[in-house]
């Protein structure tokens, strides 16, 4: 993190450009959280996006990659309760619209208007992530016990060679 309010991030620009860039530290709304990323993984979806793009991205749109992550709450929006600064959390990466049939059935992952970190909104391959109120309200921020080992996240995979 620099002194001017920016941080380094692994980014993808629709059309095929992967780069490490300086991006602004996100600002949160009254209903959101700012999360300091403590561990993030790279999965096949990240690689597919870098190779082929993603249907949810507009031409030229640039995002911070990463959707599998855990961290600690750095800042809490004025309207958020139940999430203290310093709380360790995991984050479910997809959030639905909250109104369609899929969302009403509790299947937000089938929502035609879903949004997801590292897919169509800035993700976790950086230092800080904004967790919008939509994710907080839908229960996508999951407190983790203090004994949870931050250095060894549960969302990793081994390469076939190991």
Q: Round to whole Å and give the CA distance between 90 and 70.
A: 4
The model's pLDDT over 104-118, given as tens digits with 9 standing for 90+, comes to 998 888 999 999 999
How far apart, in Å, are the Cα atoms of 60 and each of 12, 64, 75, 84?
A: 9, 13, 31, 37
Q: By the 8 A CB rule, do 14 and 53 touch? A: yes
Tell me what the pLDDT averaged over the chain comes to: 89
Q: By the 8 A CB rule, do 31 and 136 touch? A: yes
Q: State the pLDDT at residue 133.
A: 95
Which residues, 6+ apart, have CB-to-CB distance to 3 below 8 Å?
none
Q: State the pLDDT at residue 106.
A: 87
**Roughly how many angstroms between the first and final C-alpha of the chain, as a whole number?**
33
User: What is the model's pTM?
Assistant: 0.86
134: number of CA atoms within 13 Å, CB side?
17
Q: By the 8 A CB rule, do 12 and 63 touch? A: yes
Confidence of residue 78 (pLDDT cuts 50, 70, 90): very high
In sequence order, which ranges of the chain are alpha helices (DSSP H)?
44-52, 101-104, 133-137
The model's pLDDT over 19-45, given as tens digits with 9 standing for 90+, comes to 999 999 999 999 999 999 999 999 898
């Amino acid at each position: 993190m620099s002194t001017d309010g920016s941080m380094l991030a692994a980014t993808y620009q629709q059309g095929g450009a992967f780069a490490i860039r300086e991006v602004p530290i996100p600002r949160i709304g009254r209903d959101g959280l700012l999360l300091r990323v403590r561990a993030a993984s790279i999965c096949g979806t990240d690689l597919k996006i870098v190779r082929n793009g993603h249907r949810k991205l507009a031409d030229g749109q640039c995002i911070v990659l990463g959707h599998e992550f855990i961290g600690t709450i750095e800042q809490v929006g004025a309207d958020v309760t139940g999430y203290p600064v310093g709380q360790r959390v995991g984050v479910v990466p997809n959030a639905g619209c909250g109104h369609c049939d899929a969302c009403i059935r509790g299947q937000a992952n089938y929502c035609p208007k879903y949004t997801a970190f590292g897919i169509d909104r800035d993700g976790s391959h950086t230092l800080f992530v904004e967790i919008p109120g939509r994710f907080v309200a839908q229960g996508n921020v999951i407190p983790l016990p203090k004994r949870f080992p931050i250095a060894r996240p549960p969302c990793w995979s081994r390469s076939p060679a190991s």
